[in-house]
Amino acid sequence: MPFHVPNHPLFRALRDLHLPAKDYVVFGSGPLWIRGIRPSGDLDLLARGAAWDRLLEIGQVEDGDGCSKCIRLANGKIEVYNQWCTASCNVDDVIRHADVIEGIPFAKLQDVLCWKSEMKRDKDVEDIAMIEEYLKKHPEETIAHGI
């Protein structure tokens, strides 16, 4: 895979957490960032099991968006959720199908597209268009994963 993790303070902070890659995934705009679609000023993660337990040791749990819990780190620039509030986004499936790039698991674009299409917030509309355009140019990344 030709992608590289940027040498950015957020990715260094993520690595410093020493989370087990089998129990979390970079979601939201992070998968767009890693593919050069657009940069981001934050990282959103989905975590479960040992990764979530590790985060409970170092951060405070807050209510996420009504159906999830959230731990904010790095002055709020890293937000870790234990689930997403959409019917189509199963945490276990997204983590299982992640692309691991330089030791960091990133959600497949198809999973991000599915989630953003269901959420359809104002900020998602442009991302949806960029993801669809990217997938047209990179059909090898359009494999569905049963989500």
Could you read off the pLDDT of 111-142 as tens digits, one per residue?
999 888 887 888 889 999 999 999 999 888 86
In a domain, 45, yes or no: yes
**Count of C-beta atoms within a 10 Å radius of residue 78:** 22
In a domain, 114, yes or no: no
Q: What's the pLDDT score for residue 36?
A: 92
In a domain, 56, yes or no: yes
Measured distance between the N- and C-terminal CA atoms of the chain, rounded to whole angstroms = 23
CA-closest candidate to residue 26, choices 16, 18, 37, 34:
34
User: 108 vs 121, which has greater pLDDT?
Assistant: 108
Q: What's the pLDDT score for residue 81?
A: 92
Q: What is the pLDDT of residues 49-86, one digit of tens each?
A: 999 999 999 999 988 666 789 999 999 999 999 987 66
pTM over 0.75: yes
Does residue 3 have a pLDDT over 50?
Answer: yes
In a domain, 147, yes or no: no
Q: How far, in Å, CA of 41 to CA of 33, rounded?
A: 10
In a domain, 118, yes or no: no
Domain total in the chain: 1
Q: What's the pLDDT score for residue 145?
A: 44
CA-closest candidate to residue 129, choices 27, 4, 32, 3:
32
Say which range, 38-42, 61-65, 97-101, has the weakest mean pLDDT: 61-65
In a domain, 31, yes or no: yes
The DSSP symbol for 141 reads: G
Answer for the pair 37, 10: CB distance below 8 angstroms, yes or no: no
In a domain, 53, yes or no: yes
In a domain, 33, yes or no: yes
Segments forming the whole domain that contains residue 32: 9-108
The two three-digit tokens of residue 17, written as one number: 């957490």
Amino acid sitting at position 93: D
Does residue 24 have a pLDDT over 90?
Answer: yes
Residue 20 sits in a domain whose CATH number is 3.10.450
Mean pLDDT of 97-113: 92
Does residue 17 have a pLDDT over 70?
Answer: yes
